[in-house]
Amino acid sequence: MTVQSTQTRAAADAAATAADQEPGHGAEIVVPLNRLKASPKNARKVKHTEAGIEALAASIKVKGVLQPPVVEIERGEGGAATGAYLVTIGEGRRQALRLLVKRKAIKRTHPVKVTVDTENDAHEISLDENVTREAMHPADQFEAFKRLADERGYGPEEIGARFGVSAQTVRQRLRLGAAAPELMTAYRDGTLALDQLMAFCVSADQERQRQVFGQCGPHTPVYAIRRAMTEAKVRADDKRVRFVGIEAYEAEGGTVLRDLFTEDGGGWLDDLVLLDRLVGDKLAGLADDARQREGWKWAEVGSDYQDAAALGRVYPVEVVRSEADAARITALSEEYDRLVSETDAADTLPPEVDARLEEIDKALQAFGPDFDYPAEAKARAGVMVLLGHDGLARFERGLVRAEDETRRPDPEAPEGWTEGEEEAETPPAPEPEADEGLAPLSERLLIDLTAHRTMGLRDAVQADVNVALTVVVHALALQVFYPAWGTWTPLQLRLSVTGLERLAPGVSDGPAGRRVADRLEAWGARLPEEARDLWAVLSPMAPSDLLDLMACCAGVGLYAVRDPHDRKPDALAHAETLATATGLDMTGTWSATAASYFSRVSKARVLEAVTEATTPEEAGRIAGLKKADMAEAAERLVEGRGWLPPVLRTAPAVDPDAPGPQGEATEPPPSDDDTYRFAAE
């Protein structure tokens, strides 16, 4: 017979004779669990938390009930003992035992050692139990957990199972228990808060903890401590880390400093040199793969978008397909759309439909893209691979180096002549014979006649709106898509395209920059390779398409940078007018961070921004911080609030028919420039 069965039998016998032999005050007896009841005199009315009961159950399962519950004898009518006992102290332990019964870890008659109290008031001792006890200091708990790990060899999972807490919680307590002694002393003394201690323990390096602790005051913000502890490290959400992947970094021997005290479990990478090497190797591999697979002349890795912007560019053209291929593509596309439409209402696609859709998708992919670069273009152009702001590789295709340009205007050549043209195409005029009398027209007469022809051309273009639109778009497109051939138009319309990457690194990789680049690429695919063929493509184009192309060209030619060395107040004022007219909203394109704004302005500007975005009280809380700490704090406070500095804000549109301050219609401000007056008229 086992010890447990003997105890159970003894408990049953004791309960059976309880009415005849009542235990006295202070007696320790063994009672079956199913004869223990909750006491109505218990002072605790708020139920124990589930986590608390779980912890007790885990402890009891491993170590048993360490402290016997205190009970009083239950009595029925007439004062006779019922054989059951009311738990005055230890209701949490009783519930934990019942949880173990529910999980079939113990039987419902499990013997429980209890202490009988027949003299004290049950309600008072229940209150005493909950009021006079004091939990150990958390620092003692952290160090005790670490001692279990060091002396007993328990891992986080084992300790968690023995105390009813998660393994992650144990890892946090072990890290805190391993803090530098100076930090633990300050925490026990109350000069260091728990969240500050956690910030120090982001790293287990005690020497670094001591260094930062010596530099920080008692009121140093948590984020400032964490930043100081992770200097010279790369955040796990850095674009380079997202591109390479932490797994690949660790596989190469890189170490990661994990943050055990944040919900996302983020961290920092220690080896910056290794990370940059992995990024470079992966980008180089992608570039070489693209060169071999797609047939480019060259491929390389770029550091930023300015590298790509400095090169010329060719664009893909529509792939010419046979009638059979075009018909097959149309049939497959229609079948795909039909299957999707027929099953749109279904929660899940039928297996046969799903399989057919996959077959169609593979068949369409086998035909290749609708637009591709000609073999001649690939033979002189290349691809550049860059790391985008979102941690994804960006492929800039169709880039042409200066030495690979097939035809470039020669600045020393006469106007209208370009390098590469055969002299046979424009033979020199033969010398007139003396007796023919057909001497060339004099320069003065030639100018006179062509001036008259130019006036006639102006009149004809003004009279034909469609041609006028095409002329303007042709001139703009030449300068945007064929910059070397911008003079191939009689329209004296000059458009300068100024790169912005050197002024604001990364601007081309932002949301607005990508949209601009995507529109240029889409139009570049529709335009011909040679500038001389552009008019033939634009001439039959629908006005709506011409307007879209004109908008694309006009947008890329805008320049509203406030440069102290290039003062153009009228142009900048008109840029504000354009922003209002288009409803420009920079909140979707730019956000205020420590790097983009707060670390680059004065403290007064930082506090002004926080006040506008939040409240003066929030600004007051960070007013005494150092500049770097204030910048980081401001970034957190304004995040997601859509705050913009005044220079990026757009003035609301004004109704021209609305009455002015004096009840009269508002008038535009006068201008001394006749051009602006003419435009207004």
pLDDT for res 165: 79
DSSP letters for 133-194: --PPPHHHHHHHHHHHHHHH---HHHHHHHHT--HHHHHHHHHHHTS-HHHHHHHHHTSS-H
Residue 165, CA atoms < 13 Å, CB-side half-sphere? 13
* Strand pairing category for 382-387 and 298-301: parallel
Give residue-wise pLDDT tens across range 89-120: 888 889 899 999 999 999 999 999 998 988 88
Q: Of residues 3 and 487, which shows the higher confidence score? A: 487
> Distance (Å, rounded) from C-alpha 458 to C-alpha 578?
29
How would you class 43 by CB atoms within 10 Å of its CB: exposed for 0-12, middle for 13-18, buried for 19 or more?
middle
Give residue-wise pLDDT tens across range 536-566: 999 999 999 999 999 988 888 888 888 777 7
Residue with tokens 């499990």: 110
Q: How many residues does the chain have?
A: 681
> Distance (Å, rounded) from C-alpha 148 to C-alpha 174?
10
pLDDT (mean) for 14-33: 73
Give residue-wise pLDDT tens across range 287-339: 999 999 999 999 999 887 777 877 888 888 778 888 898 899 889 988 888 88
pLDDT band at 423 (very low <50, low <70, confident <90, very high): very low
pLDDT for res 412: 43
> Distance (Å, rounded) from C-alpha 295 to C-alpha 282?
19
pLDDT for res 11: 52
Residue 417 above 60 pLDDT? no
Give residue-wise pLDDT tens across range 249-261: 999 999 888 777 7
Give residue-wise pLDDT tens across range 516-534: 888 888 888 888 878 888 9
> Distance (Å, rounded) from C-alpha 655 to C-alpha 444?
54
> Distance (Å, rounded) from C-alpha 254 to C-alpha 251?
7
Residue ranges matching CATH 3.90.1530.10 in the chain? 3-131
Output the six-digit token pair for 221.
């913000």
Confirm if 32 and 111 have CB atoms less than 8 A apart.
yes
pLDDT band at 657 (very low <50, low <70, confident <90, very high): low
- Topology at the third CATH level for domain 3-131: 3.90.1530
Give residue-wise pLDDT tens across range 460-512: 887 888 888 888 988 888 888 887 665 678 888 888 888 787 788 778 878 88
Give residue-wise pLDDT tens across range 109-161: 999 999 898 888 888 888 877 777 677 788 888 888 888 888 888 888 888 88
pLDDT (mean) for 161-167: 81
CB contact set of 97 (below 8 Å; sequence gap of 6+): 33, 57, 60, 65, 106, 110, 112
